Structure 1
């Protein structure tokens, strides 16, 4: 109802023109500046032919490109925003036509079936945001370095670990100094130099590869250390070999302005510099041992709001080293993982995800502000002390294997009984298959 009201008012003020989908709107009486094409009805394509599209500045499309908008219609001379997220039927001719939109500032090809960017993309000198996430594009042409106004490059696919290879010219000629977001990239070897990207706020590396015997990554480590003293506030590193994360453990100066950190790699102990991130509010650790001592080290992070430990559930991804780390989850405090009193002063959300979760024990006054606890597992060996969380509102138990449904119900009953004894408000317990 709210959406309908907003759309109706926007159309009334000639702020946006919506064609197709569930919207039955009268044709615009004036010039169309912001156009949203929804659905692939051929009748809707005819409706656009009756409109004055020579002043379109923003174009958002859904469905199939071929049936909605002929390729020649991409020659809108003043289009500044083009959002084709999720569109099918994307062809190379469309990419070539897009590269003629010289005033384009925002381009989203996310989840389209495009596989390559043409070299002529270097003509889009006004482009500020390029979103090519979840596409077949795995490499950027060298001409991308001509786009000096480019602020955001969003690429790769975090789920499938598909990453975007950067042009060598970016590092060699110190190009694109305005970049603030560089996400979903692949780094080969440690020779990449990002020192000149002093405006960078988010760096997300989805794949790291070594070249020959070079596993030092000195240049990359130096870049992260250097940028951490400027504006870098989000750092995501996915390292399946874990060689880079081992090298990163010796970081002498932590990126002190980080507010979000995600490290995915096989680690038993957390790097000591992580515990010095005083403004960090979101921390995600994948394939890092869930141990009492690791939690104790993190408890001093004063600003931490969200904490996640996760492990792969897919058997083929659990190599011997990963299985050893999962076993490490039980090797502290006689098979328990204890969250001790004190620390975690602002923590609101905790997520623990692993095939086998050890006995989790929350001491009194541990995580005093905790509001949501999420556990995902095949087997949970036990859970105690939940009644100690006065602010707890939701406990989410997600069982991957249906065969353990009785176990989750038993845990839920135990939580409810323990909370009732204290007289506190029982948190909402969600049992998810």
Structure 2
């Protein structure tokens, strides 16, 4: 719940890790010039960059009930804060929330800071632009993209992934907004040689955003009503996750994701995932059905019936859509319902209700 720090934090010259904010509630610690004086920082997580639009600031203030928000932001203008951000050259991990629409000049400064830090020690970068357009309008057009990252997370308004992503030859973990899920996106990502984990995500609040739903619909229509996972590529991918209240139809063609071992789907409504039998190395399937799903039991049964090859183990649990974290396994049932855990190499089907 901490939204600001005192000015004296600038004196913490040996501080190496500052973790703040709440990812599930999109709460952040406001970035100030004082924080950039902590030049030994290696981890800076959950930081908020304040835009100049009053509406965006007011919405954030109401969410966090942070009485000192405007005072905190006024200690240094957005321009000064973004210029000072480049001083943190020891950073290995940076996680940012953009709170309110940035001015064009501020977007340029933030992009410059990301490019500079990525050329230093940065290995982990997460940017949530709150559907303000920074990802598409600025980051996607970067002339010096963060090619040396091991982990990249981009959440917000992202109709298509940046073309420079194919140059990230060391990227191991990638999280993208579900709005970027398209057939051509998957073809592009299949070229990443070290990609181990791929996640497409959209939280419940953003799924109510008109532009997000419009983008999802357009992506599906551009692929002929179904998004196809192509064959070939994805040479090291072991984990694929799709986390959203609404999942568009996703189809795996023969030869798709040859090394994939675990597939996670968490949703309220899904249109099916045909072609699972084409995933040659698949061992586990987790289907997490929202507690808000109108007919969760029917949805579970419908999707379970689609798994025709090798009757899988079924793990039953419940998750609250407002908090997708901390899901635990409570019961394990074999396909015959007698509670015997499957020990062989057959694919596992886990159903979280």
TM-score band w.r.t. shorter chain: 0.7 to 0.9
Cα deviation 1:323-379 (Å, max 9, x = unaligned)? 102213421332111111111111111111233323321122211110111112233
Match of 1:149 in 2: 14
Matched, 1:398 2:318: no
Match of 1:25 in 2: none
Q: What secondary structure sits across from 1:430 in the alignment?
A: strand
Output the CA distance in 2 between the equivalents of 1:384 and 1:425.
21
- Offset of residue 264 of structure 1: 1.0
- Offset of residue 214 of structure 1: 4.4
**Map 1:29-108 → 2, pairs under 5 A:** none
- Offset of residue 177 of structure 1: 2.0
TM-score by length of 2: 0.76
Alignment match of 1:430 (pick from 347, 350, 353): 350
- Offset of residue 389 of structure 1: 1.9
Match of 2:30 in 1: 165
**Map 1:221-260 → 2, pairs under 5 A:** 221-245=111-135, 246-260=137-151
Alignment match of 2:108 (pick from 200, 218, 223): 218
Output the CA distance in 1 between the equivalents of 2:121 and 2:230.
34
Cα deviation 1:116-162 (Å, max 9, x = unaligned)? xxxxxxxxxxxxxxxxxxxx321111211111111111111112211
Output the CA distance in 2 between the equivalents of 1:234 and 1:163.
18
Output the CA distance in 2 between the equivalents of 1:196 and 1:296.
37
- Offset of residue 425 of structure 1: 5.4
Evaluate the alpha carbon distance shift between residue 382 and residue 209 of structure 1 in structure 2; reply closer, same or farther with a 3 A threshold. Answer: closer
Output the CA distance in 2 between the equivalents of 1:413 and 1:381.
14
Match of 2:221 in 1: 331
Which deviates more, 148-157 or 371-380? 371-380
Matched, 1:179 2:41: yes
Q: How many residues align?
A: 290
Output the CA distance in 2 between the equivalents of 1:427 and 1:280.
27
Does the aligned pair in 2 maintain the 1:266–1:287 contact within 8 Å? no
Match of 1:364 in 2: 254
Cα deviation 1:83-118 (Å, max 9, x = unaligned)? xxxxxxxxxxxxxxxxxxxxxxxxxxxxxxxxxxxx
Alignment match of 1:277 (pick from 168, 174, 191): 168
Alignment match of 1:389 (pick from 279, 291, 299): 279
Does the aligned pair in 2 maintain the 1:364–1:385 contact within 8 Å? yes
Output the CA distance in 2 between the equivalents of 1:404 and 1:261.
33
Q: What secondary structure sits across from 1:217 in the alignment?
A: helix
Q: What secondary structure sits across from 2:157 in the alignment?
A: strand
Q: What 5-or-longer segments of structure 2 have no aligned partner? A: 52-77, 313-343
- Offset of residue 411 of structure 1: 2.6
Q: What secondary structure sits across from 2:41 in the alignment?
A: coil
Match of 2:60 in 1: none
Which deviates more, 399-408 or 192-201? 399-408
Output the CA distance in 1 between the equivalents of 2:33 and 2:284.
48
Match of 1:411 in 2: 303
Does the aligned pair in 1 maintain the 2:101–2:132 contact within 8 Å? no
Q: Which has the larger radius of gyration?
A: 1
Evaluate the alpha carbon distance shift between residue 287 and residue 381 of structure 1 in structure 2; reply closer, same or farther with a 3 A threshold. Answer: closer
Q: What secondary structure sits across from 1:309 in the alignment?
A: strand
Output the CA distance in 1 between the equivalents of 2:101 and 2:288.
37
Alignment match of 1:304 (pick from 195, 202, 215): 195
Output the CA distance in 1 between the equivalents of 2:196 and 2:107.
31
- Offset of residue 419 of structure 1: 8.5
- Offset of residue 402 of structure 1: 5.0
- Offset of residue 266 of structure 1: 1.4
Does the aligned pair in 2 maintain the 1:249–1:272 contact within 8 Å? yes
Cα deviation 1:47-88 (Å, max 9, x = unaligned)? xxxxxxxxxxxxxxxxxxxxxxxxxxxxxxxxxxxxxxxxxx
